[in-house]
Amino acid sequence: MKTFCGRANPTTGSMEWLEEGEDYDYHQEIARSRYADMLHDKDRNVKYYQGIRAAVSRVKERGEKAIVLDIGTGTGLLSMMAASAGADFCYAIEVFKPMANAAVKIVEKNGFSDKIKVINKHSTEVTVGPDGDMQCRANILVTELFDTELIGEGALPTYEHAHKYLVQEGCEAVPHRATVYVQLVESKRMWSWKKLFPVHVEAEDGEKILVPPSEMENCPGVPSVCDIQLNQMPLSDFTTLSDVVAMFSVDFSRPVQSASTYYRVQLESVKSGKAQIVLSWWDIDMDPSGMINCTMAPYWVKPTSALQWRDHWMQCVYFLPNEEPVLQGEKLYLTACRDEYSVWYNLQKAREGENKADEEEHKADVRVESPVCRCRAHLLWNRARFGQLNDQNRTRQYVKSLRKVLKTDSVCLCISDGSLLPVLAHYLGAKQPSRIDLYHPHELWQALFKANHLEDKIKIIEVHPELLKSSHLEDKEISVLVGEPFFTTSLLPWHNLYFWYARTAVSTHLASNVTVLPQSASLHMMIVEFQDLWRIRSPCGICEGFDVQTMDDMIKDSLNFRESREAEPHPLWEYPCKSLSDPREVLTFDFTKTVPQHCLSTEGSVKLLRKGKSHGAVLWMEYHLAADVSISTGLMQMSNEKGNCEWNPHCKQAVYFFSSVIESEILSDPTAVTYAINFDTKTGEIAMDFKL
């Protein structure tokens, strides 16, 4: 079966119809899946194995047969552990067909076909009885259905159903329980992912300050979880205001309720400050005694030596609806509200001389409904975009270069999504800057402009660049065309080259001496060794003694499904790596001219200057705003002896994983990596090939 999928090309902006076979979606899913990362998670695997062995022994000691239900079996790993531990029979449920097929193969290859039945169904469709999928209810429930927020993948409704219909009362469960922990912190850095801070602009006639409207200040934001590698957040970027406390626990061996509810704990601030953020993570006890514990606790809670790197489970950042000043020793109530799939937090102060009755009263005014963004900014801007807009350093670069090119009679047009550049241009003296914007929520801009008395100062033109008419510009020619460039549809760094296509589309409206800012962009590349990220794309082979190569082959197949392997976006500030080569500029894009008809390509080789494993190449864009002002969306700094890199914290970089890794030794005769990179100006795609 073939289906036509329509999509707007993120780089060229044109609408394309692609013919996709039915395999397409699942290849994408497998190629970018977290299965490899889970199989590399030694700490998780070892503890599951210990927990499963202990559960099987407890059942056997009671003289019962051990019947296992493994919901979401994936590769079949946990069922194979159970079978090896002596379970009499395992029902391995997997909803995702390609995975269920792989599980059948893996189970067979490891010789467990007579002990494990793979059932390709969602667990809620599974039947029990003589003619059912399962002969009888199970007495051991094994699952791994957790995401960073614990419940985001639907663990609660799945458990609720399983206890009602699929397992015996008093069954053993691995894991036995999960506990969610929280810590209250103040952090300007993380708060800047949720709030727009005042933007300061040094203009000729003094400092101008753009302030956020009150709607935005008081907006609770969106309930979607912000999951990050908290271990990459230095202690200097936040202040802890409370101890770590257990917020709530779920016992998986008893009936589980998934209906919305809330939990509250009393805290005492350990420091005075502004309560802004709740940091959260969880742990799971694989057995009832809590002796086999697998925790996501970050480095300042847990000794660094015991940290297991993993990407499938990270830590959560929750933004409180409003920042709350707290005093050292002050008593606070923190409430976690949850529905079936997500969690959100509220903070309240305990009143002086509070008693039990007051506490009850507090409970009544707990806001349990999930946060809804009223200001629209949280729907338009993600946390990285907020961070970028709040980056005063970045703003300064734009101000510096705008100041160089703007004149009082400049006709300034900005092409970038939801950009503040026209506001900067206005503050710097441009008469009526306008902005082409297709995705702007009126309410947001009206409120922002109103709060800053800019209502009639900036014009928003709602047309595609190709459809721009002279009348939109009051028959004036554009003398200054600006862009950050930033577009919400961009996934990979070069997708923002859409600016070039848009610039080409509006060519007839440009004055002959137009200034384009940025004047050009360049694509940069560097070969790196990742500290950990390599795991997510690296074959596993044998996992805890089980041969899972079938899974490796399947991932490899899916990666090769597209003719050319693709680069993938990752925010590298969260994923440390060291450079093995110097950074190199590989392609340049001249925005003062239109997009050429021909392809842009380059070939060359880079020397590996350091000892290490070449896991892949990192690629990023730099924008040249004016003669001596550039902005990098990738590498910010590199310490030369060791090759440690500092990356732009508000952008994702492109990572191209090599299909095989080479290890370079101390280099008297340096190894070289040759590359060929081609930018197809018709499709806007970048194809690349590397030879080691």
For residues 221-260, which are near ligand SAH according to CB under 6 A?
Answer: none
Specify the stretch interacting with ligand SAH by CB under 6 A; choose among 88-96, 181-189, 260-268, 387-395: 88-96
Q: Quote the least distance from Cβ 655 to ligand SAH, whole Å.
A: 23
Cis peptide before 518 (omega within 30 of 0): yes
Give CA 299 to chain center in angstroms. 20
Q: Quote the least distance from Cβ 550 to ligand SAH, whole Å.
A: 13
Long-range contacts of 108-116 (CB under 8 A, 24+ apart): 109/547, 109/550, 110/80, 110/546, 110/547, 112/76, 112/79, 112/80, 112/83, 115/83, 115/87, 115/88, 115/89, 115/90, 116/76, 116/79, 116/80, 116/83, 116/89, 116/90, 116/92
CB–CB of 346/278 below 8 Å?
A: no
For residues 567-586, which are near ligand SAH according to CB under 6 A?
Answer: none
* 38 in contact with ligand SAH (CB under 6 A): yes
**Among the listed residues 93, 222, 316, 621, the single contact to ligand SAH using CB under 6 A:** 93
Secondary element (H or E) of residue 446:
helix 442-451
Amino acid at 421: L
For residues 41-80, which are near ligand SAH according to CB under 6 A?
Answer: 71-75, 77-78
Q: What is the C-alpha separation between 93 and 89, in angstroms, rounded?
A: 13
**Does residue 22 carry a catalytic annotation?**
no
CB–CB of 622/631 below 8 Å?
A: yes
Name the closest residue to ligand SAH (Cβ): 72
| Cβ-based nearer residue to ligand SAH, 124 or 489 | 124
β-strand pairing of 273-285 with 546-547:
unpaired
CB–CB of 310/42 below 8 Å?
A: no
**Among the listed residues 95, 384, 454, 692, the single contact to ligand SAH using CB under 6 A:** 95
Q: How far apart are the first and last CA of the chain?
A: 38
Q: Quote the least distance from Cβ 108 to ligand SAH, whole Å.
A: 17
Q: What token pair was written down for 136?
A: 């009888």
Catalytic residue among 20, 29, 108, 153: 153
Q: What is the C-alpha separation between 583 and 630, in angstroms, rounded?
A: 16
Q: Quote the least distance from Cβ 123 to ligand SAH, whole Å.
A: 4
Count of all residues that appear for the chain in the document? 692
Q: Quote the least distance from Cβ 126 to ligand SAH, whole Å.
A: 8
For residues 122-181, which are near ligand SAH according to CB under 6 A?
Answer: 122-123, 144-145, 158
What does each C-alpha distance from 449 to 218, 423, 455 come to in angstroms? 17, 9, 5
The alpha helices in 464-511, defined as continuous H runs, are: 498-505
| Cβ-based nearer residue to ligand SAH, 77 or 332 | 77
Q: Quote the least distance from Cβ 248 to ligand SAH, whole Å.
A: 21
Specify the stretch interacting with ligand SAH by CB under 6 A; choose among 14-22, 89-97, 193-201, 598-606: 89-97
β-strand pairing of 67-71 with 89-93:
parallel
Q: Quote the least distance from Cβ 541 to ligand SAH, whole Å.
A: 15
**With 0-12 CB in 10 A as exposed, 13-18 as middle and 19+ as buried, what is 157?**
middle
Q: What is the C-alpha separation between 81 and 534, in angstroms, rounded?
A: 26
Q: Quote the least distance from Cβ 542 to ligand SAH, whole Å.
A: 14
**Among the listed residues 96, 165, 197, 263, the single contact to ligand SAH using CB under 6 A:** 96
Binding-residue total with ligand SAH (CB under 6 A) = 18
Tell me the torsion sign for CA atoms 613, 617, 618, 621.
positive
For residues 394-433, which are near ligand SAH according to CB under 6 A?
Answer: none
Amino acid at 47: K
Secondary element (H or E) of residue 395:
helix 392-405
| Cβ-based nearer residue to ligand SAH, 72 or 465 | 72
β-strand pairing of 612-626 with 600-607:
unpaired
| Cβ-based nearer residue to ligand SAH, 72 or 583 | 72
The position carrying tokens 């500030």 is 573
Q: What is the C-alpha separation between 195 and 319, in angstroms, rounded?
A: 10
Catalytic residue among 94, 144, 324, 685: 144
Q: What is the DSSP string of 197-218?
A: PPEEEEETTEEEEE---HHHHT
| Cβ-based nearer residue to ligand SAH, 146 or 675 | 146
Q: Quote the least distance from Cβ 72 to ligand SAH, whole Å.
A: 2
| Cβ-based nearer residue to ligand SAH, 45 or 390 | 45
Q: Quote the least distance from Cβ 312 to ligand SAH, whole Å.
A: 8
| Cβ-based nearer residue to ligand SAH, 549 or 594 | 549
| Cβ-based nearer residue to ligand SAH, 166 or 377 | 166
CB–CB of 527/606 below 8 Å?
A: yes
Beta bridge partner(s), residue 18 = 5
Specify the stretch interacting with ligand SAH by CB under 6 A; choose among 95-103, 191-199, 590-598, 635-643: 95-103
**Among the listed residues 99, 294, 296, 523, the single contact to ligand SAH using CB under 6 A:** 99
Q: What token pair was written down for 641?
A: 């002896």
How many Cα atoms are found within 13 Å in the side-chain-facing hemisphere of 159?
33
Beta bridge partner(s), residue 515 = 480
Q: Quote the least distance from Cβ 228 to ligand SAH, whole Å.
A: 21
Q: Quote the least distance from Cβ 1 to ligand SAH, whole Å.
A: 22
| Cβ-based nearer residue to ligand SAH, 109 or 271 | 109
For residues 287-326, which are near ligand SAH according to CB under 6 A?
Answer: none
| Cβ-based nearer residue to ligand SAH, 67 or 480 | 67
**Does residue 153 carry a catalytic annotation?**
yes
| Cβ-based nearer residue to ligand SAH, 79 or 434 | 79
| Cβ-based nearer residue to ligand SAH, 296 or 521 | 296
CB–CB of 10/489 below 8 Å?
A: yes
- Which residues contribute to the site for ligand SAH (CB under 6 A)? 38, 71-75, 77-78, 93-96, 99, 122-123, 144-145, 158
Which residues are part of the catalytic machinery?
144, 153
